[in-house]
Amino acid sequence: MRSLVRTLLFLFFTIGCLPSFCQIIDASICDTTSRFPITQYSFFLRTTEPITIDSVIKSPSGFIKAKNEPVLVFEYDPYYYWIRIVVKNQQDKNRQLMLLMAPVGMYDGRLFQKIGAHWNQVAQAGLKYKFKDRSYQFTHHVFPFTLAPKSIDTLYVSIDASNVYKLFGFALIQPKELKIFENNIYFVFGIIVGLLLLFFVLNISLFFALKEKLYLWYALYIVLLFLVVMKNDQLDQQFLGLDSEKAFRLTPFLAIGALAIAVLMHVVQSFFKNVLIHNKLLYRFSIILKVNILCIAVIHAFVFLTVFDYRIQSIVFGWAKISILLGICIIIVNCIYCIRKGFKSALFIFCGSLVFMIGSVQRLFFPSTLSFLFPPTTFHIGIILETFVISMGLIFRYWLEKEQNRQRENNYMQEIHKAQLEIQEQTLKNISQEIHDNIGQVLSLVKLNINTMDCDEHKALQGKINDSRHLITKAIQDLRDLSKSLDTDYVTDMGLIRSVEYELEMIKKTGVYKIQFEIKGEPYRLKHQQELIFFRIVQEALHNIIKHAKATAIAVQLMFEPEMFTLQITDNGIGFDTSQLEHNNFNGLGLGIRNMHNRATMINADFKLISALQKGTTITLTLPLQTSKL
């Protein structure tokens, strides 16, 4: 009798006090709410060593009430955890329910429930078990259990997540609703992966079309984003076969994320290099930060695999989080700088990076606000929007460069046509001068000889006939040279060497200048447009020397090297002050020199002009053969 009274008092006390140390969850809530987060209704116990379910039952006072948050974040710590949940079934039949747990790098998770007089393990999940051996095969950890009719059951979840970043979130869900949710999740992630694959193929195509490594780097970034998504939601364990602790530690989430940000920074720096290079402080800081992120990616992976001290892991993890945040911030700063400099494509990367930054900051620094239980989250949306917007920016860049190249091509052809007309005009002037100064004089001498011939003086007659024959031969040769000049393609036919030599011979005939023409190396032909532009520059330079330099000597040198062609024109004239050459624009000089510089720029040739008063002038043009245009 006395023992019966004690038992009744104990049951009364236990039932009366149960709500005070653990809030009871009514399972009927799942009938009206298909997704019912219960994290805030749970209690947790943490220990420095693994303990058995019997030890947990004997020490209920060690449990702590969970915070009123959808996800509990413990980060790195040395503890093992037990979670206690009390569920009530008011129905007259058994109730099948699923305890859904947020994705976490959990080694071993086991659900215990009292069946009869014993506590039994009813479900299992975690990296300790192959994916097919888990109680429920889903990207989340799921613990199926059954509630008896008209009962209140206490559930205990044992969690071994030592030496990993810890966050726990729980929800109760019906099997039917879980299957619907499961299908939706796979559908959503199928869309995400499909879009990433689309953007990957797009950038690979741009790489083969443009032969620019920038697009290949961004394709690599998309691959890393794919891995980030798979790791973040544990899809890698189901679809990539990474369902073991070793595989999990070989591919840490944050290391892959840091590597992705480093690659994105490299893409941005390559994208904006011509603009950022003018801000050396920003450019160098970006490079230093990129190297830092690469280093922390390697260090984090090494520490996560080999070091089991939670304090070191926590330090490295914090370093990685701050570095990633700074990396995204510096990308945005670079975009703002380039937008201010008029780089329109930077707006795409700015918008994409800003969206991605919001999702990443929330994921790294405020994980308790994210619904890990029911993705997609802000993080997933940010990844897709960022990839879409930046890919559109790269396409816009491709279109813009194509338009600019087309415009440069049109300007180039106009300049070529202009150069051809100028060459024809100059040739006609040369022909006129040649006919007047040489052929005309020769024929006049022939006429004079014929008019003064005396048939009675045989010796004098023979001499004049010989002189006339010589003069006529010379006139015929000069006419042949002029006929070659009349051909509009004579530069192409004769080649640059012969064309330049002909121009110098015409100047030498005047007797005013001492001419020196030198060829170094093994001669080879350049492209037609390149030879035409070089020849026109030579004509312009010689014209300037004759008109302004007051020189007595002209030297032209052609240097043929395997990877470079150099043309140098030197005179010993009066020279001029080159202080007007500001920023290599040649704006302060005459039209002739500006034309020479602009034409050299069109074929990617380097134009240098050195001159000093009374010390002559030297013009040097250098054409790298591997990077020459057209």
Assign 3-class secondary structure to 484-532: HHHCCCHHHHHHHHHHHHHHHHHHHCCCCCEEEEEEECCCCCCCHHHHH
Integer Cα distance of 66 and 41 in angstroms: 7
- Tell me: the pLDDT tens digits for 403-441? 767 776 767 667 666 666 666 666 666 665 566 555 655
pLDDT at 223: 94
pLDDT at 385: 84
Average pLDDT rounded to a whole number, residues 136-153:
93
Average pLDDT rounded to a whole number, residues 323-329:
92
Over the chain, what is the mean pLDDT?
Answer: 82
pLDDT at 260: 93
Integer Cα distance of 435 and 442 in angstroms: 9
- What domains can you pick out in the chain, each with its CATH number? 20-173 (2.60.40.2380), 184-407 (1.20.1070), 495-630 (3.30.565.10)
- Which residues have CB under 8 Å from 213's CB, separation 6+? 207, 270
Integer Cα distance of 327 and 289 in angstroms: 7
How far apart are the two ends of the chain, measured CA to CA in Å? Answer: 109
Looking at the predicted structure, is the pLDDT value of residue 9 above 60? no
pTM exceeds 0.95:
no
Integer Cα distance of 202 and 204 in angstroms: 6
DSSP secondary structure, 80-101, as one string: EEEEEEEEEE-SSS-EEEEEEE
Integer Cα distance of 254 and 101 in angstroms: 21
- Tell me: the pLDDT tens digits for 283-314? 999 999 999 999 999 999 999 999 889 999 99
Q: Which of 538, 548, 501 is nearest to 619 (CA)?
A: 538
Integer Cα distance of 192 and 186 in angstroms: 10
Average pLDDT rounded to a whole number, residues 323-327:
92
**Helices (H), ranges, 561-620:** 591-602
Integer Cα distance of 310 and 315 in angstroms: 9
Answer for the pair 96, 176: CB distance below 8 angstroms, yes or no: no
